[in-house]
Structure 1
């Protein structure tokens, strides 16, 4: 058996099972194997021997248990990755897996109990095939200055980009979401994380929204003249609903473009709507009275209130992308998607699935009864001219295939 360049810490309170784990790891060729009977002892071991590549961790034990141990080492860098060794039920294991990921640790997998040598061997190979001792993450881009963002807004450098929504079965475009990119004259395309928090802090979100609606309705008119009918969706923060002039300004832009309200959708994340005040509800009602569609974005990512969902005048649900990412391996995600589809049908609300990245996901969603989706499998966000060109290329392919 070749030597594996891995340092492993075994955290197990049962003496015999700990001995078995240590012997198995040594037999599999691990270079160094350390052991501890509870979390406190494991922390002391780490203090003495330094960083380890893997913690093979039981969860239930006397003293400091595995959960508290993982919380302690999550931000310390003392443990690079984790293998869970537990006899917990499948739903609890899934929750622990999520916790480990949120703590910033790499989860190699679950070896179960009693230990299976082949499963353990495969997880060790996984650690070597995808080393966790990677370069430190690149720090997040610093926020732009307020003056720079104000100038960018005044100079119309904050451009609308478009990502299509599509019919999962036919591939037909059934709408488009407007996103924002900063088209800097010297730095190129700047992502929204650099400037959106500044816009929000400075109370400039409404000004950006009105510019985007104006720009997008111009594109919508061009697309309609070329035979493409598009509903255009905009992201709206719940805090913007408190502006009593919001709906009047949107109505004015619609009139200036001779566009009906039904050509627009406004997407709001659910988290800001759970305690929506009366002024916010008035804005939502006015938008619907103008004919606009309202969509709850990232549904399921927060603490959804079904009561509020029934009270608020929404007619579309956009299901959070995490449900699609975990669709293949998480039965509960399949159940959540199916339940949301049934809820949407009962409430008369369309359901759009976000984050579709593979054809396998699309086919699984079709099997569950999904009809509308959005994601990189179909198209990435594009600038306006690129989007129109993309529509033409797609239409030309469909004509040539007939």
Structure 2
């Protein structure tokens, strides 16, 4: 059972505040009480951040939503248990907001809550909130010279995450994901170098490099008797470049790769300033057999419009929907609707971020075509993929 040193309760209704106080006494050495967010912030400034806090949302002074925004500015923010009589959709939105701002919401309960509910949640409160993603440790941020050197020496190269056919369990494709094989710091993820690539105007050079290296690897697999399509991420701005399609065709010709073995995933992080130009490039790519996929569907700009207007052949369900669909009916409904729409449009579907057998089973029952995620394999090197595929074939046979 977790024993807290300091617990802060923020609740404007006096009876509820006293009830929570009595309930929490056995679970914390010191229980602090505040009747709105402003009072709570003063306590934190004077006495330091508590180990955890319980927070109402609708309060007469500073409400819980505003308080959470202020809390997010503190690097030492503690875990938060939300209690509210607000509707489920409002609570859901607040949790999403707080999480995006870096506040760890350990749980969110709808009032009225039982003694057992609140007791169980308090006993399970973590003393140290989990860090959502690595911050790079002691690795210094790369400068332009380091990035240019990494590209010229091919230290940054594609790793490949398998995509599995739902019906057969076999390898049906791979997605190329950039990794930096740093001579001192080992393998570094894109979280370390993508933003600096943008800052130093090297992102297009990186994209061209990963695209060509992926085509080369795909050709090598084909020579070894393994025909597996490769998906490469591109930005929508690439499709607005009149020369982009010709560059892709030249790469395919240079390395002798058939167009149908290449899929370009359009990351939905930008809007489309010139739809006619985008459609022109998309049509030319598709005429050469190259597939187009909408990546991170539902999280970017104009996804639905792009899906209907463009000659898209594949739709990728973003990992955030997959991660939450088992516990949250809203995410589950979004996945179900996306898959149904793609099925009616006769578009192939891929679910990203599959990490459990339960997720894989639900997606299969919903009619998803293929799956990708750590449940099957992380992104692996090109040579390792061949061995992985052999083991996978033996397993499904």
Distance in 2 of aligned mates of 1:224 and 1:315: 22
* Cα distance, 1:111–1:340 mapped onto 2, change above 3 Å: closer
Aligned to 1:60, the other structure's residue is in SS state coil
* Aligned pairs (5 A) from 1:96-107: 96-107=94-105
Aligned to 1:20, the other structure's residue is in SS state helix
* Contact kept in structure 2, 1:142 and 1:194, CA below 8 Å: no
Q: CA deviation at 1:397?
A: 4.5
Name the residue aligned to 1:42. Answer: 40
Name the residue aligned to 1:15. Answer: 14
Distance in 2 of aligned mates of 1:81 and 1:331: 24
Q: CA deviation at 1:51?
A: 1.8
Name the residue aligned to 1:84. Answer: 82
Q: CA deviation at 1:273?
A: 4.1
Q: CA RMSD in A?
A: 2.6
Aligned to 2:284, the other structure's residue is in SS state helix
Specify which of 243, 246, 251 is matched with residue 245 of structure 1. 243
* Contact kept in structure 2, 1:293 and 1:316, CA below 8 Å: yes
* Aligned pairs (5 A) from 1:122-133: 122-127=120-125, 130-132=126-128
Distance in 2 of aligned mates of 1:377 and 1:36: 44
Distance in 1 of aligned mates of 2:38 and 2:326: 37
Name the residue aligned to 2:157. Answer: 159
Further displaced range: 93-102 or 263-272: 93-102
Residue segments in structure 2 that go unaligned for 5+ positions in a row: none
Number of residue-to-residue matches in the alignment: 395
Further displaced range: 115-124 or 42-51: 42-51
Distance in 2 of aligned mates of 1:318 and 1:136: 23
Q: Which has the greater radius of gyration?
A: 1
Q: CA deviation at 1:307?
A: 2.5
* Contact kept in structure 2, 1:50 and 1:78, CA below 8 Å: no
TM-score (norm 2): 0.90
TM-score (norm 1): 0.89
Q: Deviations over 1:275-329 (max 9, x none)?
A: 4454333322221122111101011122544233212221211111001111111
* Contact kept in structure 2, 1:21 and 1:115, CA below 8 Å: no
* Contact kept in structure 1, 2:170 and 2:393, CA below 8 Å: no
Aligned to 2:4, the other structure's residue is in SS state strand
Please say if 1:393 is aligned against 2:379: no
Please say if 1:178 is aligned against 2:162: no
Specify which of 269, 272, 278 is matched with residue 267 of structure 2. 269
* Contact kept in structure 1, 2:219 and 2:256, CA below 8 Å: no
Distance in 1 of aligned mates of 2:211 and 2:130: 43
* Aligned pairs (5 A) from 1:355-394: 355-394=353-392
Residue segments in structure 1 that go unaligned for 5+ positions in a row: none
Please say if 1:233 is aligned against 2:231: yes
* Contact kept in structure 1, 2:271 and 2:301, CA below 8 Å: no
* Aligned pairs (5 A) from 1:201-350: 201-350=199-348
Distance in 2 of aligned mates of 1:79 and 1:214: 44
* Contact kept in structure 2, 1:356 and 1:373, CA below 8 Å: yes
* Contact kept in structure 2, 1:106 and 1:132, CA below 8 Å: no
Q: CA deviation at 1:207?
A: 3.9
